[in-house]
């Protein structure tokens, strides 16, 4: 061990050194009370003959016990003076699907319904995920995490199938909290950047959604939007077998909010595509981003430097002392 290593010498678990005074306190106590309570019932001549190490031809084990205790404490304290270089794990690319389950998604201007077309598009994205981790968030009035980031794409696909507006506990159409929930999933999964793909026909909080999309972009997260529905629109179902009526008593039409969706995608640094163009426009872009993330992970060889615990080198000496203490008549 050279001088540089000596200057780096330290203990990884120094709290174990607090056990050394225990041995010292025990030795002082034993010295002060060598006879203990036996002096009250045994003659001094007989007690000296009975004490360990007092018999002729035998040696005391207490010095070895002290050495064994000291070496054990030093080994547990983890002496260290050199470092180990280990490759760091880099998580694969991460995608979060954000599915709109507001009441308007039950409209049928796209067959068989908007939510069904959105689920088809989400299934196509899952098929292209390969090694990417995928999470799923559903929203209406409030967001709900259906699946955290996972490589178990089959489970996410199973959870996706039954999702419908009728399952949501509250009505509404707020995208901003759902985008925040997607960002939290990426942070919790230690994702480097990531992709958020929103499948929606529109939302009721454009200002807040723009702000959150911009914040995600600043963190390296891209927000893509898949528009569901048609500009012409369709009567909005009320969830009870009828339609929502306007002030004139006629069914109220719900249309795809194309302009708002485009603005959020632009604010998030992503693209806006229709549900029919997912396979031709969005999937190639997602696959390119995934290949870029994989290539970056391959070319960037990140190494973690950790201190190596050298306490293992004290084990042979500890075993030798333990063997000596096993001498007959000592224990």
Partners of 269 in beta bridges:
223
Taking alpha carbons only, the member of 88, 9, 38 closest to residue 307 is 9
CATH of the domain at 238: 3.40.50.410
Average pLDDT over residues 148-168: 94
- Interval 20-68: pLDDT, tens: 887 677 666 665 555 555 566 666 666 666 665 544 444 556 677 778 8
Same domain as 117, residue 32: no
Query: Which tens digits make up the pLDDT trace of 166-206?
Result: 999 888 899 999 999 999 999 988 777 789 999 999 999 99
Q: Is residue 195 part of a domain?
A: yes
Q: Which of 85, 308, 110 is nearest to 199 (CA)?
A: 110
Q: List b or e across 127-138, with b for residues whose CB sees 16 or more CB atoms inside 10 angstroms.
A: ebbeebbbbbbb
Within a domain: residue 273? yes
Q: Which residue has the higher pLDDT, 308 or 158?
A: 158
Q: What percent of the chain is modeled with pLDDT above 90?
A: 41
Q: Are residues 195 and 74 in the same domain?
A: no
Q: Is residue 330 part of a domain?
A: no
Whether 193 and 264 share a structural domain? yes
- Do both 169 and 274 map to the same domain? yes
Confidence grade of residue 298 (pLDDT, cut at 50, 70, 90): very low
CA nearest to 109, candidates 280, 237, 12: 237
Residue 289 in domain? yes
Residue 156 predicted with pLDDT over 90: yes
**Count of domains observed in the chain:** 2
| 217: in domain | yes
- Residue 331 counted as domain residue: no
Amino acid 57: pLDDT? 46
The verdict on 201 and 220 lying in the same domain is: yes
The whole-number pLDDT of residue 225 equals 96
Largest separation between any pair of C-alpha atoms in the chain: 116
Q: Report which of residues 145 and 18 the model is more confident about.
A: 145
C-alpha to C-alpha distance for 136 and 227, rounded to whole angstroms:
17
Domain match, 116 and 48 both: no
Percent of the chain's residues with pLDDT above 70: 77
Same domain, 204 and 237: yes
Could you list the residue range(s) of the whole structural domain that residue 152 is in?
Answer: 94-299
DSSP state of 282: I
- Over residues 210-229, the pLDDT tens digits come to 999 999 999 999 999 999 99
Assess whether 310 and 224 both reside in one domain: no
Pair (171, 70) in one structural domain: no
Report pTM: 0.64
Closest by CA to 317, choosing from 102, 143, 146, 75, is: 75
**What's the CA dihedral at 265, 172, 187, 159 to 10 degrees?**
-100
Query: Do both 123 and 9 map to the same domain?
Result: no
Mean pLDDT value across residues 6-10: 76
Bridge-partner residues for 303, per DSSP?
A: 87
The pLDDT, as a whole number, for residue 313 is: 87
Q: 59 and 165, same structural domain?
A: no
Q: Are residues 26 and 108 in the same domain?
A: no
Q: How confident is the model at residue 308 (pLDDT cuts 50, 70, 90)?
A: confident
């Amino acid at each position: 061990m050279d001088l540089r290593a000596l200057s780096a010498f330290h203990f990884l678990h120094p709290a174990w050194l607090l056990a050394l005074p225990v041995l010292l306190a025990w030795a002082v106590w034993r010295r002060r009370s060598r006879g203990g309570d036996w002096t009250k019932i045994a003659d001094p001549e007989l007690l000296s003959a009975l004490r360990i190490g007092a018999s002729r031809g035998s040696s005391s084990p207490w010095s070895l016990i002290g050495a064994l205790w000291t070496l054990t404490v030093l080994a547990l304290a983890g002496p260290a003076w050199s470092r180990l270089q280990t490759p760091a794990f880099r998580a694969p690319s991460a995608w979060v699907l954000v599915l709109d389950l507001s009441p308007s998604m039950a409209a049928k201007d796209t067959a068989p319904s908007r939510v069904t077309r959105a689920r088809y598009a989400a299934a196509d994205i899952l098929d292209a995920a390969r090694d990417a981790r995928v999470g799923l968030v559903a929203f209406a009035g409030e967001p709900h995490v259906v699946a955290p980031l996972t490589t178990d794409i089959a489970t996410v696909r199973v959870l996706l199938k039954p999702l419908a507006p009728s399952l949501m506990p509250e009505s509404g159409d707020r995208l901003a909290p759902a985008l925040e929930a997607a960002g939290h999933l990426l942070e919790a999964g230690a994702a480097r950047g990531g992709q958020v793909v929103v499948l929606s026909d529109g939302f009721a909080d454009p200002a807040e959604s723009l702000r959150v999309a911009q914040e995600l972009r600043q963190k390296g997260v891209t927000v893509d939007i898949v528009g569901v529905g048609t500009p012409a629109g369709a009567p909005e179902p009320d969830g009870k077998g009828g339609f929502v009526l306007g002030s004139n008593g006629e069914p109220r039409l719900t249309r795809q909010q194309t302009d708002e969706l485009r603005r959020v995608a632009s604010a998030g640094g992503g693209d806006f595509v229709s549900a029919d163009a997912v396979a031709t426009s969005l999937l190639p872009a997602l696959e390119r981003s995934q290949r870029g993330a994989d290539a970056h992970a391959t070319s960037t060889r990140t190494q973690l430097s950790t201190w190596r615990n050298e306490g293992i080198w004290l084990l042979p000496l500890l075993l030798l002392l333990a063997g000596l203490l096993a001498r007959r008549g000592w224990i």
